[in-house]
């Protein structure tokens, strides 16, 4: 297989220790796609993101990235392959300053100087520049999400997995994050976005994937599904008055 930046999951089963959460996930994301990963609370969205990043118990199946099987590799190995993650919730290094967090992220910056990259993310998120010498743990939850986003962006990954970036953010901050996601996408970055705000997600994403009970139950173009139909899928796993929609297993791949 060519080294195309394509992320392909085949029958992925994963969870936490003996607990199974993902029950056979199939997903094929091509270079430059913008995918909204949606589903009810507890569907396994965060678990899926963490599994791609090697942060759960990988049971079986395959995850191919650029043609290489990466399922079950450690997070550090995943990171070095150009996959970036913005985890859900608070930042990883609360007892370090914002600047130190960015330095951590810059540890593996490819080809470019860390100072230029920090200037770049500070220009995107001025609030981080203003508070760069404060402890990251003293930021609000939303601001910590912004910091995590900045840390991922700083590495300029080929694909970015982002888990609920808008939670706890002010409308203005949400605007900044989504604008930056759009810009990243325009620059060729593949984006897999988990977002509770389905309206916002469907505005920016081209493709909608719905997860329920650890399985993909809908996979199609974002403009092929209405908000009401999404609600039906979340609630019952089915769309009222509509025959089955395509899922990734039925889509034909090249
Ligand atoms: N660290 C963990 N250990 C054990 N179970 C977990 C852990 N994290 C999440 N779960 C469980 O996995 C299921 C899916 O959770 P999650 O992936 O966070 O769902 P979502 O992001 O779709 O809301 C839930 O039942 C949740 O309780
Ligand atoms: Mg989640």
**CATH number, residue 88:** 3.40.50.300
Task: Indicate if 113 and 172 belong to the same structural domain.
Answer: yes
Residue 44 lies in a domain: no
Task: Indicate if 191 and 221 belong to the same structural domain.
Answer: no
For the cut 60, the answer to whether the pLDDT of residue 251 exceeds it is no
Kindly state the tokens that stand for 164.
Answer: 């609920």
Output Rg (C-alpha) for the chain, integer angstroms.
18
Split into its structural domains, the chain has a count of 2
For the cut 90, the answer to whether the pLDDT of residue 63 exceeds it is yes
Task: Indicate if 99 and 160 belong to the same structural domain.
Answer: yes
Q: Residue 48: its pLDDT value, please?
A: 97
- Ligand 1 near 43 CB (within 6 A): yes
Q: 66-79: per-residue pLDDT in tens?
A: 999 999 999 889 98
Task: Indicate if 98 and 189 belong to the same structural domain.
Answer: yes
Strand partners, 215: 212
Please give the model's pTM, rounded to 2 decimal places: 0.87
Cα(233) to centroid(ligand 2), Å = 17
Q: Residue 8: its pLDDT value, please?
A: 98
* Greatest Cα-to-Cα distance within the chain, rounded to the nearest angstrom: 56
Residue 133 lies in a domain: yes
- Position with higher pLDDT, 51 vs 116: 51
Task: Indicate if 75 and 171 belong to the same structural domain.
Answer: no
Enumerate residues 6+ apart whose C-beta is below 8 A from 34.
181, 185, 190, 191, 193, 204, 205, 206, 207
Task: Indicate if 137 and 185 belong to the same structural domain.
Answer: yes
Tell me which residue range forms the domain holding 140. Answer: 84-196
Kindly state the tokens that stand for 40.
Answer: 């009810």
Residue 45 lies in a domain: no
Q: What band does 143 get if pLDDT is binned at 50, 70 and 90?
A: confident
Cα(29) to centroid(ligand 2), Å = 20
Query: To test the ligand 1 pocket, which listed residue (36, 44, 87, 167) has its Cβ within 8 A of the most ligand atoms?
Result: 44
Average pLDDT rounded to a whole number, residues 190-201: 91
Query: To test the ligand 1 pocket, which listed residue (46, 87, 192, 216) has its Cβ within 8 A of the most ligand atoms?
Result: 46
Task: Indicate if 62 and 16 belong to the same structural domain.
Answer: yes
Residue 179 lies in a domain: yes
Task: Indicate if 74 and 97 belong to the same structural domain.
Answer: no
**Nearest CA-CA partner of 72 in 84, 60, 87, 88:** 60
**DSSP annotation string for 165-212:** TTTT--HHHHHHHHHHHHHHHHTT-EEEEE-S-HHHHHHH-SEEEEEE
Cβ–Cβ < 8 Å for 183, 10? no
Q: Residue 184: its pLDDT value, please?
A: 81
Task: Indicate if 102 and 182 belong to the same structural domain.
Answer: yes
Residue 234 lies in a domain: no
Residue 235 lies in a domain: no
For the cut 70, the answer to whether the pLDDT of residue 110 exceeds it is no
Cα(130) to centroid(ligand 2), Å = 30
- What is the spatial distance between Cα 64 and Cα 203, in angstroms, rounded to a whole number? 28
Task: Indicate if 74 and 90 belong to the same structural domain.
Answer: no
Task: Indicate if 89 and 68 belong to the same structural domain.
Answer: no
Residue 42 lies in a domain: no
Beta strand pairing call for 19-29 and 7-16: antiparallel
Task: Indicate if 176 and 219 belong to the same structural domain.
Answer: no
Residue 166 lies in a domain: yes
Query: To test the ligand 1 pocket, which listed residue (37, 47, 59) has its Cβ within 8 A of the most ligand atoms?
Result: 47
């Amino acid at each position: 297989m060519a080294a195309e930046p394509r992320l392909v999951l085949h029958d992925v089963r994963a969870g936490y220790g003996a607990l199974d959460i993902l029950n056979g996930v199939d997903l094929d994301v091509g270079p430059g796609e913008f995918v909204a990963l949606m589903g009810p609370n507890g569907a396994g969205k965060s678990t899926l993101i963490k599994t791609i990043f090697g942060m759960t118990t990988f049971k079986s199946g395959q995850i191919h990235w650029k043609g290489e099987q990466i399922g079950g590799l450690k997070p550090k190995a995943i990171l070095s392959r150009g996959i970036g993650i913005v985890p859900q919730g608070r930042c990883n290094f609360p007892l370090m300053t914002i600047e130190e967090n960015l330095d951590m992220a810059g540890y593996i910056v490819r080809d470019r100087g860390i100072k230029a990259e920090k200037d770049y993310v500070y220009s995107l998120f001025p609030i981080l520049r203003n508070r760069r010498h404060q402890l990251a743990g003293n930021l609000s939850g939303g601001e910590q999400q912004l910091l995590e986003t900045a840390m991922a962006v700083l590495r300029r990954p080929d694909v970015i997995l982002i888990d609920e970036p808008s939670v706890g953010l002010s409308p203005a901050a949400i605007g900044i994050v989504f604008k930056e996601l759009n810009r990243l996408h325009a620059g060729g970055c593949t984006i897999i976005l988990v977002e509770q705000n389905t309206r916002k997600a469907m505005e920016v994403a081209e493709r909608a994937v719905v997860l329920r009970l650890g399985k993909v139950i809908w996979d199609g173009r974002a403009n092929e599904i209405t908000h009401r139909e999404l609600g039906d899928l979340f609630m019952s796993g089915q769309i009222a008055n509509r025959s089955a929609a395509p899922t990734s297993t039925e889509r034909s791949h090249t």
